[in-house]
Structure 1
């Protein structure tokens, strides 16, 4: 397990993560990249705890996701199964578990203030915090995808599922984009990753 975790985590995070995994009797599975989620936690029928995390070269994203899911496990065990998955109990647990990792021996100095701000009130996903999502993207392997906020208004873009959209105006924090095939309007996070089809 040590060698596997070293492949996916910052070096100084491996030992404390391993301790959390053992202390909470976690069956950790590292799976191929999923578009809709970075990780998940499940209580299995036999009572064991299974956490799956997407395989990624971005060690900082992997660490945040792993602690996020362990936070679910610990919160459910402490407060019961009726709590909201991303309610106050989970937020407090996630903050508590993550705090020892937010230090320069583990994260780059450029990420530390952004992480400190994020963990004052952690979101259900790091991707819903635009500042953190954009900061973490700097440590991803470069791709041909672009984020919605970088596109000129009127650009046509494609999602992972092949659906085409035209970028419209920004409304508060999100962009109104029209689905080409149906004419329906959808709201997109500014940092959503898409593939450019046409620039107009």
Structure 2
């Protein structure tokens, strides 16, 4: 419990500790990985390992941890043939997350967005632009901006160093021209980038 105290809201510690113990989970908190917030793996001895990035704010950490526990519980209940983010996982995630969707755990600006997100949860909370932006307010300050905050024509760099120019908005995503190749890529509005020239 003392480990989780550092990473999630206080009132979520006890129920989450019980969930981890009940499911024989080895929780590993790791340095930031750019491609994921967390992951789940069954271990050969019948136990389970969940890894979560240490740099997540307490609300994103909580959602990510429950997301990964939902994989474990769904696989145990329905078998390994299910899709990783299919209907069985969605129902399991909704069921496990429901007790935490409370104003004494999540802030008032995040709670309604979480409630909406959990009507049909996606593989990553980052694909829900409104929820992602609300959760980002609780991150440590960075020098990055969201794509949607940039003016059209702004030059920016992604985490891997590639440079792009922001183009027009389509329905939900933005067309961005890669400077080096001249190819056009689509970006979600809530991708965080480093502005090089606005």
TM-score surpassing 0.5? Answer: yes
Tell me, what secondary structure is at the counterpart of 1:56?
coil
Tell me, what secondary structure is at the counterpart of 2:27?
strand
Counterparts of 1:133 and 1:111, CA distance in 2: 9
Q: Taking structure 2 as the reference length, what is the TM-score of the superposition? A: 0.98
For these two proteins, the number of residue pairs brought into alignment is: 198
- 2:54 is the alignment partner of 1:55: yes
Counterpart for residue 3 of structure 1: 2
Which deviates further from its counterpart, 44-53 or 64-73?
44-53
Counterpart for residue 145 of structure 2: 146
Which ranges in structure 1 are unaligned for 5 or more consecutive residues? none
Counterpart for residue 126 of structure 1: 125
CA deviation digits over 1:56-101, x for unaligned, max 9? 2510000000000000000011111111100000000000000000
Which ranges in structure 2 are unaligned for 5 or more consecutive residues? none
1:159-170 to structure 2, matched below 5 A, reads 159-170=158-169
CA deviation digits over 1:24-76, x for unaligned, max 9? 11010000111110000011233321100000251000000000000000001
Q: State the 1:178 CA deviation.
A: 1.1
Counterpart for residue 134 of structure 2: 135
1:18-167 to structure 2, matched below 5 A, reads 18-56=17-55, 58-167=57-166
Counterparts of 2:147 and 2:106, CA distance in 1: 27
Which deviates further from its counterpart, 183-192 or 63-72?
183-192
Tell me, what secondary structure is at the counterpart of 1:168?
strand
Q: Taking structure 1 as the reference length, what is the TM-score of the superposition? A: 0.97
Show structure 1 runs of 4+ deviating over 6 A.
none
Counterparts of 1:143 and 1:57, CA distance in 2: 13
